[in-house]
Amino acid sequence: MDRRFFIYRKVLTYLCHLMQQPALYTVLSPKLLSLYPVKDAVVVIIDVFRATSTIATALYNGAHKIYPVDSVEQCKALGSQLNAITAGERDGKVIEGLQYGNSPAEYPRTFIEGKTMVLTTTNGTKLLHMALREGASEVITGSFPNLQAVCDFLVAQNKPVILGCSAWKDRFNLEDTLFAGAVIDAIGQHFTIHCDSSLMAVEMYRQHQNDMYQFIRKTTHWHRLANYGLEKDLEYCVTPNVANTLCIYRDNALVAQ
């Protein structure tokens, strides 16, 4: 009788624990964001090639603040207003009128420390602003270079999570999905996950975590960017924890925390 009592209690405690775990969803494209419960969730903006990898690297290397903006015009205007450096790329080249590109290699500590930066990107910034409009409680950016920092923050927050893939012009992409899978692989057990995107993402990650450099060469985005001679950049962007800083959105800018 005593033994059964303890077993029941253990099972009940476990079930209560499971029921209290916050939900986690993976959103595969900005176009799908509105289908998921964003309000009051922590949203992780994922743009592996290369915006969020560059953001992590620049903040890790001591950048003061990074303002993500939608358009080149905004980038120039805000850059001039804040006396900040301006950055953005199209087709693998620095955009005319801006100063720097979207490569993490451009932002070593010797250059970026203490500087403020205004960055325009195509996919990630749009998703970030959508998440804010939908009432996210926190917005952070995620990439392989700051994987561990993202995971630690999400577990500590103990709130619902949306892993938001920036995709490419709204089309599903693999590199963002693999990062979502890496997060779920690491901390999925802390969340309630009823979400096929998450199930797929973690399977794809587990399948390819040990041949990432090879597998990533098959993706459409790799082909697009490798044409511009960016292979080294892209390999860096799928390397975990080389710029392990939490990048959080505060007062219109991303800052290290």
Applying CB under 8 A, which residues contact a copy of itself? Answer: 28-29, 31-32, 35-36, 169-174, 177, 194-197, 199-200, 203-204, 207, 218-221, 223
Number of other residues whose CB lies within 10 A of the CB of residue 217:
14
CB of 197 to a copy of itself, least distance (A): 5
CB of 228 to a copy of itself, least distance (A): 17
Helices (DSSP H) in 85-228: which residue ranges?
109-112, 124-133, 147-157, 174-187, 196-208, 212-215, 220-226
200, 206, 207, 213: CA torsion to nearest 10: 110
| Residue 109 or 171 having the CB closest to a copy of itself | 171
| Residue 234 or 247 having the CB closest to a copy of itself | 234
**Partners of 70 in the beta sheet?**
none
CB of 172 to a copy of itself, least distance (A): 5
Alpha-carbon distance 257 to 254, whole Å? 9
Tokens read off for 252:
């219109």
| Residue 57 or 173 having the CB closest to a copy of itself | 173
HSE at residue 238, side-chain half, CA atoms within 13 A, is 25
CB of 107 to a copy of itself, least distance (A): 27
CB of 134 to a copy of itself, least distance (A): 15
Query: Residue written as tokens 């390999």?
Result: 235
| Residue 28 or 139 having the CB closest to a copy of itself | 28
| Residue 82 or 204 having the CB closest to a copy of itself | 204
